[in-house]
Structure 1
């Protein structure tokens, strides 16, 4: 295997429940305003500016949850990752920048406070993860540590071993 590619999304059951709940709330609000003619909280059925603001906010929340994703590529150049929509393009870490690189099991909540883009306070550590508890641990020569979540650590490690010398790990 010469190239490892992985795309991860927040598609856990509980994320889908959140998305569909927000969509349900939006549909309820629209029914109350446009069909029943009732106010919802402080937004009356004739306050179109407030209705548009509420609708846009809820649509943006759903869109953000659907757009969130982590793409990882490992090849002869190094490791590229992109956490959409926060990274406009791929971030690349070349093999020359790395002191160590390996896959490992980690504790998302205890070590990083959960999933997402998770900087660790008072350290140079950061995690980019979507789900699960397996990741690609990168120790940079400048002392910074980056963990990139993976759902396929075995194949990721095969490609890492191909391009990076892991002596001493």
Structure 2
């Protein structure tokens, strides 16, 4: 059994302060409602929902929403001849990109909001992007489809690993 060679591995999570302030702020409203209405037995708001409804909202939004954002992660891995990208929980298996289909690649500094409409898995006129935070990455140009941007906190290392992976695969064929 051959051992898999990993030239590059990076795992990113959302770490923007403003995003966490919004997510936790929304969750805090449901925590306050749950504590006030269920635990302290006071009505929460002028038209309170039932205890069961509030408990369901609390679990879904007060606990589920922060957990959902916390569990999201972008994993990028480069192996000889292949780039793998996995945006958990949207991808159960990594998206495999054969590097022989990449005609060109470059280091990219971009504006996530203006160029792609934000962070995550994004589609725009500029192509597709996988990004979590920051504004640097590697843009891949293909023979038969629009460009793909892979956001990275270590874009230069990713760029070098892609080059090494392409050379290794070419040397093996």
Q: TM-score range by the shorter chain?
A: 0.7 to 0.9
Map Cα deviations across residues 106-163 of structure 1 (whole Å, 9 max, x no partner): 111111111111111xx47111111111011111211221111001012112212213
From 29, 34, 41, the counterpart of 1:37: 41
Aligned length: 161
**Two-structure CA RMSD over aligned residues (Å):** 2.1
Q: Which residue of 2 aligns with 1:151?
A: 153
Cα distance in 1 for partners of 2:148, 2:24 equals 33
TM-score, normalization by structure 2: 0.83
Residue 30 (structure 1) shift: 1.7
Cα distance in 2 for partners of 1:106, 1:112 equals 9
Structure 2, unmatched stretches of 5+, are: 168-173
Cα distance in 2 for partners of 1:101, 1:76 equals 16
Moved over 4 A (4+): none
Map Cα deviations across residues 54-100 of structure 1 (whole Å, 9 max, x no partner): 11321221111111111000120311001111111100101111111
| 2:132 is the counterpart of 1:130 | yes
TM-score, normalization by structure 1: 0.85
Cα distance in 1 for partners of 2:6, 2:88 equals 25
The 5 A counterparts of 1:1-169 are: 3-41=7-45, 42-44=47-49, 47-58=50-61, 59-120=63-124, 123=125, 125-164=127-166
Cα distance in 1 for partners of 2:82, 2:76 equals 11
